[in-house]
Structure 1
Amino acid sequence: MLSDYLRDQDGVITLAQARDAGLSQRAVQYRVRTGRWRRCAVGVYFVDDRPFTDAARVRAAVWGHGPLAAASGLTAAWWQSLTQFAPNKHEVTVPRDSHGRPHDGTRVRRRDLHPADVIEVRGVRVTAVPLTVVEAAVRRRDGAKLLDSALQRHVDLESLWRTHLRNKGRTGAPRARRLLQAASDGARSEAERRILALLRGAGITGWKANYPVGGYRVDVGFPSAKVAIEVDGFAFHSGAQEFQIDRRRQNAIVLRNWQVLRFTWLDLVEYPEKVIATIRAAIAAR
């Protein structure tokens, strides 16, 4: 039984599990004292005959903060294969009244999670996919890509909104709301209004909205500079047919010697200065 625990749990074991496998507390202490086991936290050990992998770190981090702790944020995203790389510092959410202190390599968030927002994956409590997505997306500069990828494969927009509204007081909630708005069906028209407002606010002239180029209409066109601005939506709204049409459209515009700049709704909200700087550079170069 001990070998099964260690094999299935990346070399991490709790004191309760060790006792179930037939070891006394004295036997566990002997293994720690002789260096065969490493103590990660109270009642959590790592058998030091193998690499201390990212998976082992996650198990030790979560189990070390008690039975009601759950991996969250980018840690939960990696554990559920929503991201490729484990974060350097693991995020663990514990109940508000938890008295434990953070361990090395962990970031503790104190919040009472709704039962619907917690699941168990491979023996570790983690935030459910919808909450994981809305929390992890705000931890990354490319959070819109993470959200878009999850919408294409794992969750729907309605479940993300429900989860967001159920957890409005959490860290990063305002940015999560902006990301979800960007993913909503009406975001494109709102983005078009925002780009026009940005151009007016920056005092940039010489543009026309919905300008015809090559049989198509671009969101904003600078006829003299031959620069087109397009606002992109989220990929999960688009199928293969829309993808092909969009590429044919851009090719037709480029073949008429126009430069195409593409921005997302998130670009316009989060990085308006960079958007304006890019547009200024493009029209000045032409």
Structure 2
Amino acid sequence: MVNDYLRRHDGVITLAQAREVGLSHAAVQRRVRSGQWVRRFPGVYFADDRPYTDAARVRAAVWSYGPHATASGLSAAWWHGLTQFAPDRVEVTIPRNSNGRAKPGCRPRRRDLAPSDVVEIRGVRVTNLALTVVEAAARDGGARLLDAALQRRVVGLSALWRAQLRHAGRYGSPRSRLLLQAADAGARSAAERILHKLLTAAGITGWKADYRVGRYRVDVAFPQCKVAIEVDGFAFHSGPSEFQNDRTRQNDIVTMNWQVLRFTWLDLTQSPERVIAVVRAAISA
């Protein structure tokens, strides 16, 4: 039973869990003294016959704060499979009345979560998908995580707004709100306004907004050098039919000897210098 438990839980086990599968405290200590198990945190052990993976590290950190501890933020995002890499420090949400303190490699947050805010995945409590995405969006690189979650349809915008409003006073809430507003129906128009400001601030002239090319209108055009710029909101707004229409439209414009550049809201907000460099290269070619 012990080996099966360890196999299913990344080699991590707590003292309470060890007792549940039939080991006494003395039996646990014998395993520690012999080097079979390594004490990672008080009351949390790792069977040292396998690699100490990120999954084991996150699991051990969460379990070290007790049965009501919950992985949150980027830790929860990684556990949900939304990010490729686990964070260096594991964010763990613990109840306000708990006495947990900071531990090596851990970032505890004190707050009370409603039962509906928590799900259990592979034996670890994590914030539910909507709350995880909203909170992770406030971290560095979170805008791309939000965009990816919406593109993959793993969570809907309405669920994200509900999570945002339920936890409006939390850390990072203002940034999450701005991202959700940008991801809402006005994302494309917001992206156009950002592009206009970037071009003006960079001193780039000769462009016209909402310019007609053949039977289409492009968001920004440089008529003299035939460079058209199309801007998108978050990519999830494009379904299969819209995607095909955009590509047909772009191909038609290209056949009229125009060069077409496409930028997303994320390009404009996360990499504005790169956007301006691409535009300068295109209009000077």
TM-score of the aligned structures, taking structure 1 as reference length:
0.89
Of 265-274 and 71-80, more deviation after overlay is shown by 265-274
Q: Does the alignment pair 1:160 with 2:179?
A: no
The corresponding residue for 1:60 is: 60
Count of residue pairs brought into register by the alignment:
284
Deviations 1:158-211, CA, capped at 9 Å, x for gaps: 110111122223332222222212211122123223323443444432111111
Write the distance in 1 (CA, Å) between the matches of 2:125 and 2:147: 25
For 1:87, the aligned partner's letter is P
Tell me: CA distance 1:61–1:207, structure 2 relative to 1, closer, same or farther (3 Å). same
Contact 1:68 1:94 in 2 (8 A): yes
Q: Secondary structure at the match of 2:218?
A: strand
The corresponding residue for 2:223 is: 223
Deviations 1:32-51, CA, capped at 9 Å, x for gaps: 12211111111111111122
Of 251-260 and 210-219, more deviation after overlay is shown by 251-260
Contact 1:118 1:126 in 2 (8 A): yes
1:110-259 equivalences under 5 Å are 110-141=110-141, 143-151=142-150, 152-259=152-259
For 1:52, the aligned partner's letter is Y
Tell me how far 1:124 sits from its aligned partner.
0.5
The corresponding residue for 1:11 is: 11
TM-score of the aligned structures, taking structure 2 as reference length:
0.89
Tell me how far 1:78 sits from its aligned partner.
1.9
Deviations 1:18-77, CA, capped at 9 Å, x for gaps: 112222112211211221111111111111112212221121010012222111122212
Q: Secondary structure at the match of 1:195?
A: helix
Write the distance in 1 (CA, Å) between the matches of 2:148 and 2:207: 33
For 2:105, the aligned partner's letter is G
Tell me how far 1:122 sits from its aligned partner.
1.4
Q: Secondary structure at the match of 2:102?
A: coil
The corresponding residue for 1:95 is: 95
Write the distance in 2 (CA, Å) between the matches of 1:119 and 1:256: 54
Structure 1 residue runs of 5 or longer lacking an equivalent are: none
Tell me how far 1:243 sits from its aligned partner.
0.9
Contact 1:179 1:266 in 2 (8 A): no
Q: Secondary structure at the match of 2:82?
A: coil
Contact 1:228 1:258 in 2 (8 A): yes
Write the distance in 2 (CA, Å) between the matches of 1:15 and 1:35: 16
Write the distance in 1 (CA, Å) between the matches of 2:230 and 2:106: 41
Write the distance in 2 (CA, Å) between the matches of 1:190 and 1:269: 10
Contact 2:69 2:94 in 1 (8 A): yes
Question: What is the RMSD computed on CA atoms of the aligned residues?
Answer: 2.2
The corresponding residue for 2:24 is: 24
Tell me how far 1:103 sits from its aligned partner.
2.8
Identity %: 68
Write the distance in 2 (CA, Å) between the matches of 1:139 and 1:75: 11
